[in-house]
Amino acid sequence: MKIGIVIPHHLATLDFLEEWREEFSKRDVFLYIIEDKDNRETSVPEWLNNFTIITHRDIKDCLDKKSWIIPFKTSAIRSFGYYMAWADNCDYILTLDNDCYPENENYWILGHIENLQSKVTLDWVSSLPDSDLETRGFPYMIRDKSPIGVSHGLWSNVPDFDGIDMLKYPEKRFKAELKSKLIPRYSFYPMCGMNLAFTREMAPLMYFGLQGPSWGFDQYDDIFGGIFSKKVMDHLGYGVISGYPSVEHRKQSNAFINLKKQVPGLLLNEHLWKEVQKIKLTKKTPVECYIELAQKLPNTVEGDVDGWLLKQKEAMLIWAKLFVEK
């Protein structure tokens, strides 16, 4: 079992990894540190052995004329780490932000893997609250038959609010999440990239798209990635679990800076999911479905930012074909 951990990074050091030392040292994992700079500047802890640092230059060298699909100066740069982990034949791909710390002692990796190795029931919901039992009439043939494709971990302490809700609830803090729940089939959810894991088969769906200074808005990369991936997973019969294992999110970012990044995409976020919901998929594999989804997306929607959706569609097709060409 090969596990890859993708960490987008823009600071001078990786000091936060010190608190992950015990867990990372106990597991056979490989770190893909995506340094959001032209050249390598980050210092790495001496105890860290299995890792690679990837810079803008490395991305350009690898993708050449296609490198424009990986945006810089944004957490969406982590998409390239997903691709590298997939190319290195990782069975499970996890991602972690550099302001997140262990919540449950030495159980973050194992918690995600256990989620991804579990099976769930997608098309029926129990009538019993908080129970593993089923009542009369619940079909046996569908119980715990569907695989999990994404384990969406949550966070304690500082919540993942947008700028508006940060201003409304400045003192709000969350407790550690000890349970997981299944995201209902054919429903979307706000996927957060700071604590996330998925199987190798889902890698073609995990493109976080065009975001950041070059594209007029930011911080919808994981959200839109969640919309697109969930659409395909629902069609193919894969589940998403959200909740445990959680991490401690310590950094409270600036609400006004976040608003400046988010507001241009606010209206787009209100309408894009509705257009995705209308699309009928027919293909049989994740990469085929992702290509079909990109082709069937409209060229624009209400709230589109300077023709962003048309370029996003082009980028999605280029991204998907990386997994076909390999």
Instruction: Indicate the DSSP class of residue 181.
Output: E
- Assigned domain for 199 exists: yes
- Assigned domain for 139 exists: no
Q: Judge whether residue 12 has pLDDT over 80.
A: no
Nearest to 196 by CA among 232, 240, 163: 240
Find the domain containing 66 and state its range: 3-123+144-325
Task: Please write the tens of the pLDDT for every residue from 254-266.
Answer: 999 999 999 999 9
Task: Please write the tens of the pLDDT for every residue from 88-138.
Answer: 999 999 999 999 999 877 799 999 999 999 999 999 988 888 777 889 999
- Please tell me the predicted confidence (pLDDT) of residue 129: 80
- For the chain, give the percent of residues with pLDDT over 70: 99
- Assigned domain for 134 exists: no
- Please tell me the predicted confidence (pLDDT) of residue 326: 59
Task: Please write the tens of the pLDDT for every residue from 246-304.
Answer: 999 998 889 999 999 999 999 999 999 999 999 999 999 999 999 999 999 999 999 99
- Assigned domain for 115 exists: yes
Q: Judge whether residue 58 has pLDDT over 70.
A: yes
Straight-line distance from the first to the last Cα atom of the chain, in angstroms, rounded to the nearest whole number: 21
DSSP-assigned states of every residue in 136-152: TT--STTTT-EEEEEEE
Instruction: Specify which residues 100 forms β-bridges with.
Output: 249
- Assigned domain for 318 exists: yes
- Rounded to an integer, what distance in angstroms lies between the CA atom of residue 228 and that of residue 178? 27
Q: Which position has the token pair 């090969």?
A: 2
* Spatial contact of 107 and 24, defined as CB atoms under 8 Å apart: no
- Please tell me the predicted confidence (pLDDT) of residue 3: 97
* Spatial contact of 292 and 262, defined as CB atoms under 8 Å apart: no
CATH number at residue 12: 3.90.550
Three-state helix/strand/coil letters over 234-258: HHHCCEEEEEEEEEEECCCCCHHHH
- The residue type found at 80 is F
- Rounded to an integer, what distance in angstroms lies between the CA atom of residue 141 and that of residue 278? 29
Nearest to 160 by CA among 220, 227, 110, 108: 220
How many angstroms separate the Cα of 191 from the Cα of each of 28, 59, 106?
A: 27, 25, 24
Dihedral of the alpha carbons of 287, 292, 294, 298, in degrees to the nearest 10:
-170
Rounded to the nearest integer, the mean pLDDT of the chain is: 94
- Rounded to an integer, what distance in angstroms lies between the CA atom of residue 72 and that of residue 271? 25
Instruction: Specify which residues 152 forms β-bridges with.
Output: 196, 242
- Please tell me the predicted confidence (pLDDT) of residue 325: 67
**Reported confidence tier of residue 26, pLDDT bands at 50, 70, 90:** confident
**How many structural domains is the chain composed of?**
1
- Assigned domain for 129 exists: no
- Assigned domain for 321 exists: yes
